[in-house]
Chain A
Amino acid sequence: MTANTGRWIGRTYLGLVLVFLYLPIAIMILMAFNRSALYELPFTFDTVWFEALAKNDRLLTASFNSVVIAAVNAVIATTIGTLAALGLARYSFRGKRLLQILLFPPITIPWLIIGTSMLVFFFWTGIGRGLHAILLGHVALSLPYVIVVVGARLASFGPQLEEAAATLGATPWQTLWRVTVPILAPGIMAAALFAFAVSFDQFVISYFLASPGTSTLPVEIYTSIRKGFTPEINAISSIIILVSMGLMMLVVRHFRFGGER
């Protein structure tokens, strides 16, 4: 086998993997523009499902809820997550290792377990279900990501700059705002977008914490799928997938995942 054939086989294989990854998404978007609700062929272009979507109040309200929760979640999670990252990166203290380990359970324990335990606890303590409960849950899921992303940025420059500012007479508050935060800005920005995406795409936790009547978009979609099919779901799903992929493109522009630099 020559190097060329090998390369050709490799590229074809990668191409097939990409087809597998994008095929269902492409078909879904295509079907969102098909006039028939029952996937009938031939394909006839029509925006009828998008028009139906524009009149579907349940889905529109749920979309609004999703966007608001994702935005508020991004603000809260980024703020308190950045503070925690600063505390973990710039101080060494007893129990720090434990605090770092405690970031793993929220991301590694299956969401099903986290979600149901929140349901049990919130119901029991009177916090209840609803949008506020969903927000509480989303921030918890976003925090570990924010702390890791901002922490990685913090680790890329030492405390020397901050020490220099302090030596030159800056108060801790001035040092934070004039030195640390500007350098951290790209990391904070990426973390905020990431937190937005985590919340916007979150289904499992929201599903258990939604109260009847108020829910987020993924919960509403799941209910519609289980109850029986409505083709507007195709339209809104196509919009969601494009929004969430677009968001991740933004994140990647700000912060490289995958370790290549």
Chain B
Amino acid sequence: MDATGRRRWAIAGLTGPAYLWLALTVFLPLSAMFYFSFLTAAPIGGRESAFTLEHYIDFFTKSVYWFNARRSLELGVHVTLICILIGYPAALVLAKQISGRWREALFLLIILPFWSNALVRTFSWTMVLRGDGLIGRMINPLLPAGWEFDLLFTYPAIVIGLVHAYLPYAILTIYISLQAIDDSFIEAARSLGASRLKAFRRITLPLSIPGVLAGIFLIFVPVIGSFMEPRILGGKNAIMLGPIIENQFVTAFNWPLGSALSFIMLGIVLLVLAIASPVLRRHLSVG
């Protein structure tokens, strides 16, 4: 065997197993689901099925799907916005005010929950938000008549749970970009007479935009696709695209409709990415 042949075999042998696995478990399934989304019924167990655009047309003509898609988008915007607003100052303090071992320890404390079990963390909020939970039992007797602390199964509960889930992501991405800023830029601005605020607005903020954008993207996409958090914390208020898709696969067994809705969700995600990509590319190449 000649050298090029051997080289080719080495590349195929090294990368082959991983990519075959990914093909079998991710790329072929996505293609299969795309195919299913154009069928009248799932072709399983010898059932008859024919080509149709019905599910896609349904989405664009029936207001119930529009309504749910809009709620998903709103949820995505709310959660992302709150995460960035809370996360930015935290990242700033961590990157610019704290140093050494403390910084390392705090950083770890912040990202640790992110890598722990998402389901269990969501579940733990039910104990905090319910009216007869620990906080409810302490606060409710003190509240004036007509007021009651009982947030479980409301829209704010979904937002709180998701902010809790993705806040570490916002802090992480913003912290990384803040940390890369050379302090001497800020010192130079300050010695040239810029106020603290001006130095922040003209130097720190623009240079940290790549981290903010990365955070926005990394939070927005999974929030749009969430179904477990809305179900557990929102109860009947889980009126969003994610729970509807789950329904089609788990209880309604309308796989073609579920597939079409999944691809519409994927389309929304790609659209957001496409809109964001020129901005992302510009900022990420600078940073």
Which residues of A come within 8 Å of B, CB atoms?
Answer: 6-7, 10-11, 13-14, 17-18, 20-25, 27-28, 30-31, 38-41, 80-81, 83-84, 86-88, 91, 93, 99, 102, 105-106, 108-114, 116-124, 136-137, 139-140, 143, 147, 172, 197, 200-201, 203-204, 207-208, 218, 221-222, 225-226, 233-234, 237, 240-241, 244-245, 248-249, 251-252, 257-260
**Closest CB-CB distance, B85 to chain A, in whole Å?**
12
Contact check, A245 vs B249: say whether CB atoms are below 8 A apart.
Answer: no
Give 30 CB contacts A-B under 8 Å: A10-B93, A13-B89, A13-B90, A24-B124, A24-B127, A28-B120, A80-B18, A86-B14, A93-B11, A105-B26, A110-B224, A110-B242, A110-B265, A112-B225, A112-B245, A114-B26, A114-B29, A117-B29, A117-B259, A121-B28, A121-B33, A122-B29, A139-B21, A143-B22, A201-B119, A203-B119, A225-B232, A245-B116, A248-B116, A258-B111
Residue of B119, B130, B134, B179 touching A260 (CB-CB under 8 A) = B179
Chain B 16-30 interface mask (CB, 8 Å, partner A; 1/0): 011101101111111
Which of B19, B30, B227 touches A112 (beta carbons < 8 Å)? B227
Partner of A121, one of B29, B175, B227: B29
Give every chain B residue within 8 A of A83 (Cβ-Cβ).
13-15, 17-18
Please determine whether B245 and A11 come into contact, CB atoms closer than 8 angstroms: no
Tell me how far the C-beta of B179 lies from the nearest C-beta in chain A, rounded to whole angstroms.
Answer: 7
Determine the chain A residues whose CB is within 8 A of the CB of B117 once the complex forms.
200-201, 203, 218, 237, 240-241, 244
Binary contact readout B105-124 vs A (1 if CB under 8 angstroms, 0 otherwise): 01111111101111111011
B29, B42, B111, B226 interface centre (most CB from chain A within 10 Å): B29
Question: Which secondary structure dominates chain A's binding surface?
Answer: helix
> Do A113 and B115 have beta carbons less than 8 Å apart?
no
B151 shortest CB reach to chain A, Å: 12
- For A111, the closest partner residue in chain B by CB is B225
Cα distance A120–B43 in the bound complex, in angstroms:
10
Q: Are B120 and A221 in contact (CB under 8 A)?
A: yes
Q: Which one of B86, B111, B224, B228 contacts A17 once the chains associate, using CB atoms below 8 Å?
A: B86
Does B139 reach chain A (CB closer than 8 Å)? no
Complex-state Cα separation, A251 to B115, whole angstroms: 11
Known interface pairs A21-B168, A222-B228; A139-B25 also in contact (CB < 8 Å): yes
Q: Assuming A10-B97, A23-B128, A204-B227, what are 15 further A-B pairs, CB within 8 angstroms?
A: A11-B97, A14-B106, A17-B171, A21-B164, A24-B164, A27-B134, A110-B221, A110-B266, A112-B225, A112-B246, A116-B258, A117-B259, A120-B36, A218-B119, A226-B231
Bound complex: CA A251 to CA B118 (Å): 18
A240–B124 Cα gap in the complex (Å)? 12
Is there contact, CB below 8 Å, between B134 and A124? no
Q: Does B186 contact A (CB under 8 A)?
A: no
A257 and B111 contact, CB distance less than 8 A:
yes
Judge if B262 is at the interface, Cβ distance under 8 Å: yes
Q: A222-B119, A244-B115 are in contact. Are A80 and B249 (CB under 8 A)?
A: no
**0/1 string, B134-175, CB within 8 A of A gives 1:** 110110000000000000000000000000100110011001
